[in-house]
Amino acid sequence: MECLLVTGGAGFIGSHLVRLAVERGLRVVDLDALTYAGNPRNLEGIPTERHVFVEGSVNDRALLARLLEEHRPDAVIHLAAESHVDRSLDDPTLFVRTNINGTFELLEATLDHWKGIGPGERERFRYLQVSTDEVYGSVKTGFSREGDPYDPRSPYAASKAAADHLVRSFHHAHGLPTLVTSCGNNYGPRQAPEKLIPRAILCLLAGERLPIYGRGENVRDWIFVEDHCRALLEVVGQGEPGRTYHVGAEDRRRNLDVASTICAVLDELRPRADGARHEESIAFVEDRPGHDLRYALDVSRIRDELGWEAELSFEDGLRRTVSWYLENDAWVTEALARPDALSRQGLGRTERT
Ligand code: NAD
């Protein structure tokens, strides 16, 4: 592959993917609407000879058609989305518009383009949908496997599930060479402060309490973002069209344990001025409505068929993440200046405490 069209490339995962692809010598056309979650700073330092940034929406079919025609990418990797569960509880409108309608526009534009290219190019072309383990809903015991029924339980998860169904339907009905990946919770540098790990780090650094939903019992499958991005390039390059691949580091932890580990790392790297332990700042707050208890992915397919495995342990990845937030004041200051950067979302339709 020589050229990728990546959507959502100014977001958290997208910016790591663009960086990795460019490092590997690929040319990347990066389409991002720069919503509150998109951050041009995330793209700083990426060489512009191999990175074309286009500000625009996946809902704009004419723009999509023009980009496909002009750049003739070998693959489309679709990450652009509204991605925060809590926001989807307050107002799912944008989730439907971006995650479902936007995916539909991208599929239509991609199908038109794919039908018009020569046989060799058509054979090589791929479309990769970047999805989430949340489409399976809460898994009491055991693991979700590729092909398991979907049971999404938040508007965010439902919108991602709908998009996945559309993607598969374009493969079955039209032969579009699509792939779907489902991944658990990513963490790493440049993640917007509204998500658990950056929020915890930034609250602690600001001397504020570290809010944990409910009793912190919810279990998530954690993966360092660069491992996820390596998997995406593996799947788009080697995966079999029509198939779904789970991506995970097989590292499942309760939110409370994640918070305690962050506290321990900060005790070492940035001890509190008053000598107290950071863990003392943990505060339990009202739970997320309908909070899924546990997600867990079976990742044997990607390991056995494509030979991919996560490289970073949670402890090492977290240390790198905390260090990055400590060393990147300008990024942090700007991210915190955005509206609602650390404020609680997701209680808008229930009574606020
Ligand atoms: P993010 O919120 O950090 O980034 C999303 C990006 O999409 C932003 O840059 C935003 O500006 C852009 N965007 C939003 N609407 C757009 C539109 N209409 N047109 C073009 N761009 C638009 O999200 P993320 O955490 O980087 O997640 C990326 C993708 O990976 C999403 O599809 C998400 O569902 C999926 N995913 C995320 C995780 C995770 O833990 N973060 C896990 C599994 C899957």
State residue 353's pLDDT score.
39
State residue 338's pLDDT score.
81
State residue 350's pLDDT score.
53
- 133, 164, 194, 227: the active-site residue: 133
Q: Is 334 a catalytic residue?
A: no
State residue 342's pLDDT score.
79
Q: Is 156 a catalytic residue?
A: yes
Q: Is 133 a catalytic residue?
A: yes
| Spacing, Cα 32 to ligand 1 middle (Å) | 9
| Spacing, Cα 100 to ligand 1 middle (Å) | 13
**Average pLDDT per run of 10 along the chain, which is 353 residues long?**
98 98 98 96 96 98 98 98 94 97 98 98 98 96 97 97 98 98 98 94 94 94 97 98 98 96 97 96 92 95 98 97 96 86 76 43
User: Using a 6 Å cutoff on CB, does residue 81 contact ligand 1?
Assistant: yes
State residue 336's pLDDT score.
86
- 127, 136, 150, 156: the active-site residue: 156
State residue 352's pLDDT score.
41
State residue 157's pLDDT score.
97
Q: Which of 78, 90, 86, 84 is nearest to 30 (CA)?
A: 78
- 134, 164, 227, 251: the active-site residue: 134
- Does this model's pTM top 0.95? My answer is yes
State residue 241's pLDDT score.
98
